[in-house]
Chain A
Amino acid sequence: MEVGQMQRQWLDYTRSLFIEGFLDGQFLQLEQLQDDNNPDFVVEVVSLFFQDSHKLLNDLTIALDQKSVDFKKIDAHVHQLKGSSSSIGAQRVKNCCIAFRNFCEEQNTDACLKCLHQVKQECCLVKNKLETLFRLEQQIMAAGGSIPMMELSF
């Protein structure tokens, strides 16, 4: 595949991610921060996010399994997750977290469990998507092209 085609593919894919709501404007901000001093900034941050979220989700699962659920702690965790996800622009994860927090306030265990399940799913999804995206980018870079600037025009 030639560079131009790959770049177009990358653009289409990125656009689809935004349209489907996986990512939002914050992700673009991250991309802006990537410069010559910080060439892998985005990848690093995203990786960090997934590590963090993995840990958090585990903690949440354990916490919700308890007989007496400590909603405060759960809230704290979810809050963390929400913060992280919004930092990198993982929109759907963030929205799930918001819903999760509401249920935490209501101290609705069942709903929380459902939310947890949903959050996990979303995390998986966005992780896959981003991995695909990064692979595409690597291919482009390997082929000698450059990542085109993404403009949010919708």
Chain B
Amino acid sequence: MWFKAPESCNCIEPQWPADELLVKYQYISDFFIALAYFSIPLELIYFVKKSAVFPYRWVLVQFGAFIVLCGATHLINLWTFTIHTRTVAIVMTAAKVLTAVVSCITALMLVHIIPDLLSVKTRELFLKNKAAELDREMGLIRTQEETGRHVRMLTHEIRSTLDRHTILKTTLIELGRTLALEECALWMPTRTGLELQLAYTLRQQNPVGYTVPIHLPVINQVFSSNRAVKISPNCPVARLRPHTGKYMPGEVVAVRVPLLNLSNFQIYDWPEVSTRSYALMVLMLPSDSARQWHVHELELVEVVADQVAVALSHAAILEESMRARNMLMEQNVALDLARREAETAIHARNDFLAVMNHEMRTPMHAIIALSSLLQETELTAEQRLMVETILKSSNLLATLINDVLDLSRLEDGSLQLETTTFSLHSVFREVLSLIKPVASVKKLSLTLHLASDLPAYAVGDDKRLMQTILNVVGNAVKFSKEGSISISAIVAKPESFKDARIPEFHPVSSDNHFYLRVQVKDSGSGIHPQDIPKLFTKFAQSQAVTTKGPAGSGLGLAICRRFVNLMEGHIWIESEGIGKGCTVTFFVKLGIPDRSNESKLAFAPKVMGNHVTTNFGGLKVLVMDDNGVNRSVTKGLLLHLGCDVTAAGSSEECLRIISPEHRVVFMDVCTGLDGYELAIRIQEKFKKRQDRPLIVALTGNTNKVTKENCMRVGMDGLILKPVSVDKMRGVLSELLEHRVLFEAI
């Protein structure tokens, strides 16, 4: 094309048909080249437009320009095949020049940017690697997070229950699920601590009670560290599934689970390591899975094991406290029941006592009332004696019935002594008169000795004192087949306390009180010294084999002791042995009545159904006094009180006048022995005691000897002169009721 066919061409004439073909082909190629040259920039422009990030736009523009110009050049070349004008040649030249310029610039530029382009590529590779790495790590983190989630969930599951079995089962199940285990098992130490027993497995429903000795090396290895340890699948603890042929068993991991006991927890220390016992958890990966234990999985297992330990200990503590609470509740119920039973029993007893009391008292009252009424009627002497004995016995029985109630009240501590002023002598006399019949039947002799310094009157509970004395004397009579019984009563001096066998008893006498010491000696069957302590126990029976006498059991001595204790005293028995008799001694504290009260209180009539008679209704009395004045005064006194008085001036006259109709004889004993002899003579005259009148001595002698003499001769009373109206009234009342009255001297 660049071939100019000028005028000087001496070539052969071109043959258009062959050249024409070639030209044609050139023509077409140029055209296509131009097309390509033009379309490539278009594509580049399109690319530039589309790729915002491409950094070398300028280069592309240059390329574009270069290509466009090249295209233009080729295009223009089309016109140069034929004769062309000068403009075309200029244009052509211009185009070529431009193209040359641009392409040179481009080439130069390209030199600069080629390294850059290369580095872009490198960076891209680098980033790709990085991205891959990050992806990997991301995968790891996700796995770990998931593991953590599993742990939390597991822990939550484990801790949500306080039941041991549930905890362990849940652990295994969740672990199995999280780690996709083939088998998971828990070995617990047996009671002996020498073996591990298969307690739970995941897949097998009923674990056979395999046991494995605890001191295997592999077990020790696991127990000695708190990490999960990989163990061989062939060791005894891991051989859980029946090994079927050529399976490649998966890896096995074992971890210890501390079993904490309640006692391991101190307040300030954490549990010591040495005393712990462990259970063994064995985890097996699926066989033939080529899975391996990853670190995070092992960590998971360790965490779970610890959590299980804590959960188990909580469960154990709770179990313990529940058990304790149940026990306490049971005990409470039992105690409540016992209390109610006791209350019921007490109520029943009280009711029984009350009813029995009432039931027993009603007939008693009837007997007493009717006997009293009978006493008022006309009776022969014998009948009167019988009625009086009936009355006395009934009164005694009534007192005993009261005492059955009393004993229960004594034990409750609610019994209180009644305090009245009473005559000591009358108490003893009554006891004697009650016991005498029994004693005489057994041919026992009864002697009573009352000390001369014994106050005639004392302040205390006379009924209970009498009961005590009666009980003691009654026992003496009961247990003596022969011989004698002596009763003595004295005022206890401080010295006499010392030789009593009661070292802890230190009574203090004072002006208001004295201690009465009563001793009853009998010559009966005696008591074995060993049995003595039992005697005061209620209902205790003495085991004496040799005595064939009446059995000694019952409330008597127990009641006596309680009464004596209430009276701030002491009672004890001495006996030298079987057959040697025995001695009962007791002290009681009694009050001394005021002298000023004496004349009023001493004669206060007792409550036993009597009232003060102000008018003695023609009571026949005899006054014997050889002093006329005194005789008149006494007579006037008795007349004033409504008595039918006969006066005698001498003993002989008295004996002459006296008759069974006279109820009382007042005789003056100031004058020598006349009075005493008279008393004796009167007693001789009247054989039966109930016939003869009461003999009362009137004396101005404040002499104990006189009193003793009076008592000795069997007088029924002693009164000190001067006698006032009130005094005489009281005296008569007392005399008629009690038939005895010894004024205190």
Contact = CB atoms under 8 A, between A and B. Distances in A.
B637 interface: yes
A109 B380 CA distance: 59
B628 interface: yes
A32 B729 CA distance: 13
Contacts of A84: 627-630
A55 to B, nearest CB: 10
Contacts of B639: 33, 37-38
Please classify the interface of chain B as helix (H, G, I), strand (E, B), loop, or mixed, using the class held by over half of its residues.
helix
B636 A86 contact: no
Interface in B623-682: 627-630, 632-633, 636-637, 639-640, 668, 670-671
Interface size class on chain B is 10 to 19
Interface string A36-57: 0110010011001100100000
Contact of B636 (A41, A80, A83): A41
A83 B634 CA distance: 12
B725 A29 contact: yes
A40 to B, nearest CB: 11
Interface string A119-136: 000000000000000000
A23 B55 CA distance: 162
A47 B629 CA distance: 9
A35 B670 contact: no
Contact of B627 (A30, A35, A52): A52
B722 interface: yes
A88 B627 CA distance: 12
B638 to A, nearest CB: 10
A29 B722 contact: yes
A79 interface: yes
Contacts of A38: 636, 639-640
A26 interface: yes
B615 interface: no
A87 interface: yes
Contacts of B700: 82-83, 86
Nearest to B698: A83
A76 interface: yes
A45 B627 contact: no
Given A29-B722, A48-B628, A87 B633 contact: yes
Contacts of B670: 79, 83
B636 A76 contact: no
Contacts of A48: 628-629, 632
B633 A88 contact: yes
Interface in A127-148: none
Given A29-B724, A33-B637, A38-B639, A44 B629 contact: no
Contacts of A87: 627, 629-630, 633, 721-722
B725 A83 contact: no
Nearest to B629: A84
Nearest to B636: A33
A79 to B, nearest CB: 6
6 contacts: A26-B722, A29-B724, A33-B636, A33-B640, A35-B640, A45-B632
Interface of A: 25-26, 29-30, 32-33, 35, 37-38, 41, 44-45, 48-49, 52, 76, 79-80, 82-84, 86-89
Interface of B: 627-630, 632-633, 636-637, 639-640, 668, 670-671, 700, 721-722, 724-725
Q: What are the nearest 6 A-B pairs in CB distance? A: A84-B629, A87-B633, A33-B636, A33-B640, A87-B630, A49-B629
